[in-house]
Structure 1
Amino acid sequence: MLTHENLRTNTDSIVEYLELTSEDRVGLVLPFYYVYGGSVMHTHVAVGGSLAMLGSLAFPIRVAEGLARHRCTGFSGVPSTFARLLALKSLRDHDLSTIRYLTQAGAAMSKEMAARVCTAFPKARLFVMYGQTEASARLSYLPPDRIVDKAGSVGFGIPGVELKVRDPEGRECAPGETGEVVARGANITSGYFNNPEATRRFIREDGLHTADLGYFDEDGFLFLVGRESEMIKSGAHRIAPKEIEEVIENAPGVAACAVVGRPDELLGQVPVAFIVPSPDSAPPARQDVLRHCRDKLSRFKIPKEMHFVDDLPKTANGKLLRRALRERLTAQGPTG
């Protein structure tokens, strides 16, 4: 349940750090029923700005044409949004010089993808952000001028939001120590409609328990490790899929990757990678990807299986559907 006060507070905070004015026009591909899309609408309407409805990323050339035709000053999306746009060979043929800010949220953006976005939009400032529906959209942002030296971070709390990282006993974690991200602020919901059990579980006295795992560095910048529910429990190890995905996505010939745990009789779970080859180069050989992983990852993190696929399952909002991949593996039965 999000109140008017939740939405107003969130809107004011985002307007402040994006420095939005009535002169801004955002190119929108996000649906309004998605809290991120709704937040983009609220912030621009609040300052007297405007929105250009660009349609679906199923037709990226139309999105690029729309950004140029409407002289948009901003563009918002999830990582897959930017991946599809950057894959458009004719992107550089469109005049996108009016775009001054880009916002990204909804899922983690790899360091490599962030660098590619900055290269493709040299005049724009990229805001890497983190949030949840329960926070009316936003919890943190990484200032654009820190995107290089704090690559991989989601920054610090937006104005009015306090973020902590706590261990399972509720103690505040030291810098570098991984725990659950807990948030407090006027933008955070008071609970879930007709679901007191979920409200007690996630909305506690010390704030919103996000179920996201992360850590602060010595400078107070937040780095996310992954969702507690996504962690792969392999033997005595807990493996964050995000780490493996970032390594594989940086391998030659790879466009995207998703890693999930496969049931295993001996270890409980083992990591399995689903890989989308890049359309602009020859498909990578399995052995080349394995060799790349061996150079970058601990042995227990190297995927035990690799499946090359045309695309990854996603929601209408562009978020990865790990559940669909896990169900595919579960249907095949455990290994070992």
Structure 2
Amino acid sequence: MTQMTLIRLFAATARKDRGFHYGGGAERSYISYAELYAESLEMAAELKRLPLRRRFVAPIWMEPTPACFRAFMAVVLADGIPVPLHGFASAAETADRCLGLEAEVLLASGRGLEALRAEGAEERLAADGTLLLNGETGRLLSGDKEFASLRAASREARRYTPPDETAVVFLSSGSTGRPKGIMLSDRNLTSNLDAIGRSLTLTEQDAVLLTKSFGYCSTITGEWLLALDTGMNIRLEPGLLHPLQLVTAIRSSSSTFVCTVPAVAMALAKSETWKAEDLASLRKLLVVGASMPSDMLALLQRRLPDVDIRTGYGLTEASPRVTCLPAGGLLYKPGSAGCAINGVEIAIYRERQRVLTPGQPGEIVVKGPNVMLGYYDDPERTAHTLASYGLRTSDVGYLDEDGCLYLTGRLDNAFNVAGHLFHPEMLENALLTHPEVREAAVAGLPDGLTGYRPFALIVPGIMPETAAAAEQLKQRLNAFCTNKLSAPARPKDIFLAVELPRTNTGKLDRPGLQRKIKEVRDAFPYGTIGVGAGDHRSGGPARQKESR
């Protein structure tokens, strides 16, 4: 059987009766997959006329509209390697990414091109020989192909050449902000696409509401390519985070499938502003990207009894899906991220030795056709991550007797508390089940008696107006932790904040969290809660009630 490739997939799924619904209000528009494919062929022809290296690297920095997916297709059809970027990245960050990848071209939207000029990033890219293209058309901004040829000829040989099998490069900053170029092949993506399709059993009668950033592998494989492969229509509504926005979009579009992250799903579960009938069209809800407290998933399932709610585990290095919870799994496997999807193998390792006993935690290791080719121009990190026994995820968890996976934390987040290895994610998930907590993050600070002690930073649903009210909230949270957790797992102190420190991709900034908690602890050595955003010196009233 011929190996499926992205090029074959795009051609085979160019249907006239299925496509993207996008825009808002009276300007809502529609474009079929057939139209988008035809336009991508025209754009690919424009790219082929340019003096580009073979297997050129092409970051795409555009607003989330069908045009960014068309640009992705065009780069692939022109024998290039697309690098989908988050639209919310700054011009300086985008230029840095292009320079680090030795990108031949950057496809950007009009707003992005203006930002590049305004911040002087256009000159940096020009000096490196990177061509700026209109992401809508694939054409040079200057229209001067002779100039482009001179620039291309002046470029030195590549410092690093990606493997020929590279189909896409995703940039993942993780929790440290240091970018990783994750190289995925056609085989990686299409095998994972097939396995996701088998686990979810969606059909062309379904419709997906796509809300996540274009820069995530999950958006590309688990939503866009999945929609193409199954013949689903796509309703494009990027950036929906508030539960009311999500409910309104699902109701107005009659979407049947949504893939979202725990922060959105938990806000939906806690919100009292909607009823099950508001989401009558919804058939399947998949929660991915991080672990979600089982209590919150159970609450959401009770509120949506007719919806098939699943959890899944994955990482970009695995294209990205690794597990999916079977239908009904929330009832008989609470807290589980599910079992390995078709073709994927999961094992637990401790000190490079495979753990065979169910329930014993260790590092999660993945094998399968979905495992990446490696990291872009980073042989040392590639060698560490792609071990002889599989893909080392740095995630910690265990398998039960049925092979279902349970996540407990990250190797690089753990610290020692009174002789016990402590994973902050366990305390965070416990705190998130409290009705007054919107977000929670935990870091360990040195302690003379126990080695380290956990401290919690909380974003309340409603920020207390006074220090006395904040102290009362602290007492309620401490009593809650005492009831649910053993002594070493309880926070030594709890602080309030308007928001958590995050990276540009929206992930929790663990180093930033450590600094912020230390700053607050040092300002309040006797355990007083700092109230409000940055109002840690006085402990006085918060400047605003709402946490967002």
**TM over 0.5, shorter chain:** yes
Residues in 1 aligned to 2:286 and 2:502: alpha-carbon distance in whole angstroms: 20
- After superposition, where does 1:235-246 map in structure 2 within 5 Å? 235-246=418-429
Cα separation, partners in 2 of 1:101 and 1:93, compared to 1, 3 Å? closer
Matched residue, 2:27: none
| Structure 1 unaligned blocks of 5 or more | none
Residues in 2 aligned to 1:258 and 1:332: alpha-carbon distance in whole angstroms: 14
| Structure 2 unaligned blocks of 5 or more | 1-182, 527-548
Residues in 1 aligned to 2:481 and 2:343: alpha-carbon distance in whole angstroms: 41
Match of 1:223 among 381, 406, 414: 406
Structure 2 contact 242–264 (Cα < 8 Å) conserved: no
The alpha-carbon deviation at position 267 of structure 1 amounts to: 3.6
- After superposition, where does 1:247-258 map in structure 2 within 5 Å? 247-258=430-441
Match of 1:287 among 475, 490, 495: 475
Structure 1 contact 26–75 (Cα < 8 Å) conserved: yes
The superposition leaves residues 226-257 of structure 1 with CA deviations (integer Å, 9 ceiling, x where unpaired) of 00011122242211212222332334533332
Q: Which amino acid aligns with 1:185?
A: G
Matched residue, 2:452: 269
Match of 2:218 among 26, 33, 36: 36
Greater radius of gyration (CA): 2
| Residues 1:5 and 2:193 are matched in the alignment | no
The alpha-carbon deviation at position 85 of structure 1 amounts to: 3.2
- For normalisation by structure 2, the TM-score amounts to 0.58
Cα separation, partners in 2 of 1:110 and 1:78, compared to 1, 3 Å? same
Cα separation, partners in 2 of 1:114 and 1:319, compared to 1, 3 Å? farther
The alpha-carbon deviation at position 15 of structure 1 amounts to: 0.7
Matched residue, 2:60: none
Match of 2:234 among 51, 56, 64: 51
- For normalisation by structure 1, the TM-score amounts to 0.92
Structure 1 contact 68–94 (Cα < 8 Å) conserved: no
Matched residue, 2:29: none
The alpha-carbon deviation at position 58 of structure 1 amounts to: 4.6
| Residues 1:146 and 2:329 are matched in the alignment | yes
Cα separation, partners in 2 of 1:144 and 1:316, compared to 1, 3 Å? farther
The alpha-carbon deviation at position 171 of structure 1 amounts to: 2.7
Matched residue, 1:210: 393
Matched residue, 1:313: 501
Cα separation, partners in 2 of 1:288 and 1:89, compared to 1, 3 Å? closer
Q: Secondary structure at the match of 2:375?
A: coil
Residues in 1 aligned to 2:356 and 2:443: alpha-carbon distance in whole angstroms: 27
Structure 1 contact 54–62 (Cα < 8 Å) conserved: no
The alpha-carbon deviation at position 331 of structure 1 amounts to: 4.7
Identify which range, 313-322 or 36-45, moves more after superposition.
313-322
The superposition leaves residues 143-177 of structure 1 with CA deviations (integer Å, 9 ceiling, x where unpaired) of 13121221111111110000000111323341111
The alpha-carbon deviation at position 274 of structure 1 amounts to: 1.4
Q: Which amino acid aligns with 1:163?
A: I
Matched residue, 1:20: 202
Residues in 2 aligned to 1:32 and 1:235: alpha-carbon distance in whole angstroms: 43
The superposition leaves residues 112-157 of structure 1 with CA deviations (integer Å, 9 ceiling, x where unpaired) of 2111221232221011000000000100111131212211111111
Match of 1:196 among 357, 379, 382: 379
Q: Secondary structure at the match of 2:255?
A: coil
Q: Which amino acid aligns with 1:296?
A: K
Matched residue, 1:68: 251
Structure 1 contact 65–94 (Cα < 8 Å) conserved: no
| Residues 1:302 and 2:485 are matched in the alignment | no
Residues in 2 aligned to 1:330 and 1:280: alpha-carbon distance in whole angstroms: 21
Matched residue, 2:512: 324
Q: Secondary structure at the match of 2:441?
A: strand
The alpha-carbon deviation at position 288 of structure 1 amounts to: 2.3
Residues in 2 aligned to 1:28 and 1:278: alpha-carbon distance in whole angstroms: 26
Structure 1 contact 35–136 (Cα < 8 Å) conserved: yes
Structure 1 contact 248–293 (Cα < 8 Å) conserved: yes
The superposition leaves residues 204-244 of structure 1 with CA deviations (integer Å, 9 ceiling, x where unpaired) of 12110111111112222111110001112224221121222
Matched residue, 2:343: 160
Residues in 2 aligned to 1:222 and 1:88: alpha-carbon distance in whole angstroms: 29
Q: Which amino acid aligns with 1:76?
A: C
Match of 1:114 among 297, 305, 308: 297
The structure with the largest helix share of the pair is 2
Structure 1 contact 31–38 (Cα < 8 Å) conserved: no
Q: Which amino acid aligns with 2:293?
A: S
Residues in 2 aligned to 1:30 and 1:12: alpha-carbon distance in whole angstroms: 21
Cα separation, partners in 2 of 1:332 and 1:87, compared to 1, 3 Å? closer
